[in-house]
Amino acid sequence: MALSVTNLASSLSSLSFSSQVSHGPNTLSFPRSNYLFSLPAKSARRASLSITATVAAPAEVSEDDTMELKKYVKSRLPGGFAAQKIIGTGRRKCAIARVVLQEGTGKVIINYRDAKEYLQGNPLWLQYVKVPLVTLGYENSYDVFVKAHGGGLSGQAQAITLGVARALLKVSADHRSPLKKEGLLTRDARVVERKKVGLKKARKAPQFSKR
């Protein structure tokens, strides 16, 4: 027993620890053999975790793909949009969309670009475009060709909805009842209210102060 205590004491005496307090504010420095740790005193016991996320940039559409789509649309629509029979015009806010339906497999092309790429893959906007076709069970029966301008992508998507619904009326008059029941034939007349003189926006007034 005495031998073991003696061995323990000798081993402890052989160890040496050194600690120095640096002159910097709120820092503790612990020198070791070949490296130095410098940590804030308050956060010495806290573990820090940094996470970096990278977002892939959307794939750019080459000019060759755009030219191929233009040739495809012109081959499918001889004489242009105005010469087609199944056509409808939709409006929403400042957006206007001319829609042509052709028998096909459910492809949607907007301004000579694929709908998913044009609408930036937004599922809500893509759903707007296909709601009238899904209502009648034609989602895989017609190809949709659109020329849209004005407003933003949200307004254009809702304008396409009205345009597709109006075009489906030219396919058959029996489509009016189910489309009207879903409210797809009603033009949404809501627009941004104009700014008023003396106000910051349509109704927002500047801060009132008595002095």
Q: Which residues contact 36 (CB under 8 A, 6 or more apart)?
A: 29, 30
Tell me the Ramachandran region of residue 180: left when phi exceeds 0, alpha when psi lies from -120 to 50, beta otherwise: alpha
Domain that holds residue 178: 83-182
Amino acid at 207: Q
Residue 188 within a domain = no
Per-residue pLDDT of the chain (211 residues; tens, 9 = 90+): 555 555 655 655 555 544 444 444 454 444 454 444 444 544 444 444 444 544 444 556 678 888 999 999 999 999 999 899 999 999 999 999 999 999 999 999 999 999 999 999 999 999 999 999 999 999 999 999 999 999 999 999 999 999 999 999 999 999 999 999 999 999 999 999 999 999 999 999 999 998 8
Residue 198 within a domain = no
Residue 143 within a domain = yes
Q: How many structural domains is the chain composed of?
A: 1
Amino acid at 106: G
Residue 126 within a domain = yes
Residue 153 within a domain = yes
In 104-204, at which residue ranges do the beta strands (DSSP E only) sit? 108-110, 113-114, 142-149
Helices (H), 1-113: 2-14, 63-76
Residue 31 within a domain = no
* CATH number for the domain harbouring residue 96: 3.30.230.10
Closest CA to 161 of 80, 91, 77, 73: 91
